[in-house]
Structure 1
């Protein structure tokens, strides 16, 4: 009997040959029936997709159909996996279908579709091209090919934008280093938003600058303060506007141009490493979630800058005749993402307390 024959051995008698033919016919019939049942399950909807996959898998395991029919089984299973979101399985099944029958256009389409949904655009394009070589007029594959080409262009555009943004951020980070500036963690972002410095075509830094009034913690915001500008020019402009509209909280009119002084707080804050500076500069951009290397020498780690000297936290008066860069490059100034300066009036009742270092942030 054929069932007792050793695996791989040839039939020796007519009875064995008849038995083998009968077994092959049963397997073929079972495979066809399983295929048809699988097709029915697909038509019944998503709840029955797992049943369809089971039927196709059992039909494939019969290994009794021609290569072209086996190819259809793999392609059908790829179709169900595609609809279930099992994209890698769909690609694997479609590839098996193509190996068995190089003219199975549905297999090319399903492999391309699954690869496209996985953002494997080069693979998706390859499957489409191979399918169109076999069937140049197939509309389904042609439309998918157009989609893939469009997506590739989008990705290239995004990649170009990403590269520009990262390069700009690196140039800024390099400008900070060249000037010896120490950038710290963001403070008062609720007042400034996501404003960041820019580097103009001539290589000059332009900073957004926050002015705080410790008397009431109200603020002024200078959108663009060039590093080569002196403070007095900006204070003159602010005071010019005050002359038309006094500060609502300045009941004693103490904040006149000749009475105001500008200060920064020395040696406070957290100095960021070059890598963290780059991450900060990329926040809110198309590259905000990108992993970007800082091409430089050994990068220092983050550390909290709280010196033990008596100057720690001390208020340092700004010389109005100095440029912004003159102040930012001071060894005791850690820039809290963007420069922050405190405006106090010599006529204010808070002045002596502030100068003595007895005032602190609310």
Structure 2
């Protein structure tokens, strides 16, 4: 006879169930488990109903127990539950229980009705001073533990506030100084972090965590100071380079102007070979325009000592010139003047000399040169004048 498989098991138990359990005989396994889940002892998920749309009386009774007792007892119950969750790093859930503990301590005392209960009821006398001390201790512990939850959840400002509440209750709480300093460090509020750390060390100079934190604060402060110093040096150098370039252009009689529609030239710019030396070689971005054919060539760094011919000799002929009109000898170059006219730019004259005449300008950090076929130059000039007159 083979082994009995699960599906071969008899549908009904061989022995009769006790009378108290007889009602479950007709229920499926799913129904039994669902009903058990409504009993607090067997709960695996929270079910607030009785399965028929009503209230789960047993669960509500269990909840009510959490609020029975003195304020200190109720608050301590919530605090301990928060501690259990915090040990498992369930920071959000733990924080909620610390919230409840603090709220319980703030709840008004409920006066005992003298007419309630039998005449011979035992009266429990509570030492008010001792009870207040318990409440103060629980409140301090709840605040400082909630501060830990906020610190772990990166709610740094809330952490600082909880630490402040802790220190109002106990000015010597070292955890409050440590967690407040940690939150301030995370926010780069270094003076506040250092102050909190120093206050804690003033109470206990040998506290290891505070000493380690003080070292981190010092290191962060030095790092930020180094970053700030580098930034200042970079800004100062940039200003010095701008002054040097301005002096270089002025000494060369080169006119510059900016407009509201400056083009994006990425890293192309007017610059000195030695940025801090106004007498060093100057380079300028130049764009060669072919207005009659809507094409252009960009020269990122045109040296002031170079001529247009120095660049035309490797640019021309251009690949799109089917009529072969653009040759070194067959083109003329024109630049706009500061007054809105045109001058013919000599192809063998240094760019620095052309700009130094003061007749042309560098607009938005760029020099524009129009390149046109010599045979069509006069017609293009007339068209230019007409457009200007309009």
TM norm structure 2: 0.58
Count of residues in correspondence between the two structures: 281
CA gap of 1:28–1:53, structure 2 versus 1, over 3 A, is closer
SS of the residue corresponding to residue 278 of structure 2 reads: coil
1:52 aligns with 2:97: yes
The residue that corresponds to 1:352 in the other structure is 379
Structure 1: distance between partners of 2:257 and 2:328: 30
State the distance in 2 between where 1:37 and 1:138 align.
29
- Deviation of the 1:58 alpha carbon: 1.8
Residue by residue, what CA displacement relative to the aligned partner does 1:277-316 show, whole Å, maximum 9, x if unpaired? Answer: xxxxxxxxxxxxxxxxxxxxxxxxxxxxxxxxxx55x445
2:298 aligns to what?
Answer: 220
Q: Note the alpha carbon deviations across 1:311-359, whole angstroms, 9 max, x for none.
A: 55x44544664654863895874622x2131240343657732563179
Conserved? CA contact 1:235–1:257, under 8 Å: no
CA offsets 1:23-77 (integer angstroms, 9 cap, x no match)? xx92332332232233345447355255235224325637653766543322112
1:235 aligns with 2:347: no
Structure 2 alignment gaps of length 5 or more = 1-68, 108-131
Match 1:35 to one of 79, 85, 103: 79
Unpaired runs of 5+ residues, structure 1, are 1-24, 268-310
The equivalences for 1:1-362 within 5 A come to: 26-42=70-86, 43=88, 45-48=90-93, 51-58=96-103, 61=106, 64-65=133-134, 70-133=139-202, 134=204, 136-139=206-209, 141-171=210-240, 174=243, 179=250, 181-185=256-260, 187-189=262-264, 192-198=265-271, 200-204=275-279, 206-214=282-290, 215-223=293-301, 225=303, 229-230=304-305, 233-242=306-315, 246-265=317-336, 312=340, 314-318=341-345, 321=349, 324=352, 327=355, 330=358, 333=361, 335-336=363-364, 338-347=365-374, 349=376, 352-353=379-380, 356-357=383-384
| Deviation of the 1:111 alpha carbon | 0.8
TM-score by length of 1: 0.61
- How well do the aligned residues superpose, as a CA RMSD in angstroms? 3.9
Deviation at 1:177, TM superposition (A): 6.5
Bigger Rg over Cα: 2
Residues in 1 aligned to 2:106 and 2:181: alpha-carbon distance in whole angstroms: 25
Assess if the C-alpha contact under 8 Å between 1:68 and 1:101 holds in 2. Answer: no
| Alpha-carbon distance, 1:103 to partner | 4.2
